[in-house]
Structure 1
Amino acid sequence: MLSREMPNAPVELAFNDTEIKILDTMIKDTAQVMSSPPLEKYTIKFAQLGGYTGNKNKHPPGNIVIWRGLRRLNEIQIGWELATERCG
Structure 2
Amino acid sequence: MFHKILKSGCKAEEARLRSADRLVKLIAVYCLVSWRVFWLTMINRSAPDIDAGIVFTEREQKILDFLIPNKAPTAPGSNTLGIYLTKVAKLGGYLARGCDPPPGNTVMWRGMSRLIDIALGSEIAPQLVGN
TM-score category of the 2 structures, normalised to the smaller one? 0.7 to 0.9
Cα distance in 1 for partners of 2:115, 2:126 equals 16
Of all paired residues, the percent bearing the same amino acid is 39
Deviations 1:40-85 (A, max 9, x none): 1000001100000022523111111100001101110111111245
1:23 paired with 2:49, answer no
**1:41 aligned to which of 83, 88, 91:** 83
Partner residue in 1 for 2:48: 7
1:75 paired with 2:75, answer no
Deviations 1:11-43 (A, max 9, x none): 011111111010001112236xx7xx7111000
Q: Return the index of the structure with the highest Cα Rg.
A: 2
- Across the two proteins, how many residue pairs are aligned to each other? 84
The TM-score normalised by the length of structure 1 is 0.81
Gaps of 5+ in 2: 1-41
Gaps of 5+ in 1: none
Cα distance in 1 for partners of 2:126, 2:50 equals 29
Cα distance in 2 for partners of 1:8, 1:84 equals 34
Please tell me the root mean square deviation across aligned C-alpha atoms, in Å: 2.1
Partner residue in 1 for 2:97: 55
